[in-house]
Structure 1
Amino acid sequence: MSGATSAPTARALDVIELLARAEETRLRFSDIVSELGLTQATAHAILTTLRDRGWAERDPVDKSFSLGPAAAVVAARLDAARPLTRSARAAAAVVHRDVGYPTSVVERIDDALVMTAIEGGDPRHPAGIPGDRIPYAPPFGVAFAAWDTLDQQRAWIHRAASTDPEVEGRLHGILTRTRERGFDIDWTTPALAQHAQLAGTMLGAGLPPHIRRTLEQLLAEFATVGYLSDDDPARETRPVVTIAAPVLDDRQRVRLIVGVHPLCALNAVQIDAIGQRLTKATAAVDCS
């Protein structure tokens, strides 16, 4: 639910999420301050509170921070509290076993897409880690938008920050083709995704008109950068980043998506085989 937010609460959650993403990385006080742009006083107050409540703990030798036992208590309750995510994660594990590529579960939280689970992958070159967050705006989230209402599809398209009718038409075409096919195919590499997010944050008030026009043109290109038409020869050579299919409830509303991340070039037969295996798995996820 969108609305008024609490900045202190957001900062505390930012720290918890950073600790959760760190995995084997040892985060010192200075790392947390730098990564989140906090003042030392604010970071100290948050970490002291989290330690007192058991949400964070500090290694007495190297002084690094990690999640505390309170997080484990919540984690132990997640499967019972979120059965749909548990079922989707089980489906992702089966698909990963069958196709051999990393497979993720992604959920929508307001205007963001959050990876909540991933199966498989190379730790040195991960397809993503739980907690990764990207904006729900073109070119991201096609598998959500393609099954949404027309009004919500228009809202997603408008987040592309482009007023070009041609771009809008291309995005409508992508959604239609994705729904017909049953799954999304995305060629947006991690580097392109980072550039797209950066360009989006730069488009604000106070820019000179000629720079704003340039940024708008760039965003228009990024809006469809991950899509290649069926007759585009580049489909055979560009790495396929994600093949994603939605989990639909009995009203045909998207609850979450499961995605396969080949991160390599695939031919049309290989892509279709993964897509069909994926849609079979997502259709079997229990949404009750």
Structure 2
Amino acid sequence: MSQEPSGRASPPTERVVRILDFLAQNPGERFGVSELARRVGLSKPTCLGITTSLVESGYLVRDPADKTYRLGPSLITLGHRAQESMRVSPAAREHLRRLSSRFSVTAALSGVVDDRITVLDLVAPAGTRTGVEVGQSYPFAPPVGLMFVLWDDEAERDWLAREPTLPLRTDTERLTRVISACRADGYLVERMTPAGRRLYSLMAGMSADLPDELRALLGELVSDIGERVYLRDESPGGRTRHDISVISAPVFDHYRRQVMVTSLHIGSALTDSEIAERARALVATADAVTAQLGGVKPDS
């Protein structure tokens, strides 16, 4: 169901956001006012007025030599305050750092913000191209978001009732098995093909209202919500390796409700024992973040 807008849009504010978003998408570059105005679709006088105000407030920095602009230090403070408001503490980041260092993969913390799955923090090994960034968001609708509803029956029903982002064929029996196994283990392991990884890349930042043609095309890559989930009892065991995308574990608040997810972005083939080792460490990290929030882990 579409929601009514909460208020009228503000064109002047939208122009400011357009400039900040563009510079955030090009963090390693600097732009003169003429090029910046052209790239964001504003007149030069309008762009100059905005950038001047942003420089004065510290949100942009202007190089006096070549008169180019880049993001400023005041945005760092805003980012830290935003993380704090979403209960992402420095201690939580330290847990992510240890996890990332131990397994040489990206460790992330994410939550559902305004009906979108949003990356709240992440730590990656030096030189790693993560493919995901802090602040990046995805539509919270099937098939995306299973990890956020596995431990809450009501949340699961609400999520399944949402308009799917892609055409789906849901195997109810399979999904029931997945939910039962993940609740017993305390974590979710997702397998993903290269095509599936491209799917998530395409969906980053998109709304749930995709064009019909794109929905149909992407729907060919995902047929069932639970089909990509790795379950231990389905593995032949031994030295068999599984292409694993993400391992996720829940973080709870003091009402025993899931509020965030910790994840390890694997992106490689692992044996059953390697999956179990990483999953145990991830669950321990999720439990530590839960404790820092004053949260309580459900009994089962």
Taking structure 1 as the reference length, the TM-score comes to 0.75
Residue in 2 that maps onto 1:39: 41
Higher relative contact order (CA 8 A, sep 6+): 1
Residue in 2 that maps onto 1:283: 287
Residue in 1 that maps onto 2:130: 126
Pick aligned residue for 1:202 from 203, 207, 210:
210
One-letter identity of the residue aligned with 2:78: V
How many angstroms does 1:47 deviate by?
A: 3.6
One-letter identity of the residue aligned with 1:123: G
Distance 1:269 1:127, change over 3 A: farther
Pick aligned residue for 1:155 from 152, 155, 158:
158
Secondary structure at 2:269 match in 1? coil
Higher strand proportion (structure 1 or 2) = 2
Indicate yes or no: 2:188 matched with 1:180.
no
Residue in 1 that maps onto 2:297: none
- Deviation per residue, 1:148-173 (Å, 9 max, x gap): 342x3223223425676635655454
Distance 1:172 1:196 in 2: 26
How many angstroms does 1:77 deviate by?
A: 5.2
- The CA RMSD over aligned residues, in Å, is 3.8
Distance 1:133 1:116 in 2: 9
Larger radius of gyration: 2
Unaligned 5+ residue runs, structure 2?
295-300
One-letter identity of the residue aligned with 1:264: S
Indicate yes or no: 2:6 matched with 1:4.
yes
Distance 1:81 1:166, change over 3 A: closer
Q: How does 1:59-74 map to 2 (within 5 A)?
A: 59-61=63-65, 64-74=68-78
Pick aligned residue for 1:271 from 275, 280, 284:
275
Q: Identity of counterpart residues, as a percentage?
A: 21
Secondary structure at 1:16 match in 2? helix
Residue in 2 that maps onto 1:56: 60
Unaligned 5+ residue runs, structure 1?
205-210
Q: Is the 8 A contact 1:105 1:256 kept in 2?
A: yes
How many angstroms does 1:270 deviate by?
A: 0.6
One-letter identity of the residue aligned with 1:154: R
Pick aligned residue for 2:198 from 184, 191, 194:
191
Residue in 2 that maps onto 1:136: 140
Taking structure 2 as the reference length, the TM-score comes to 0.73
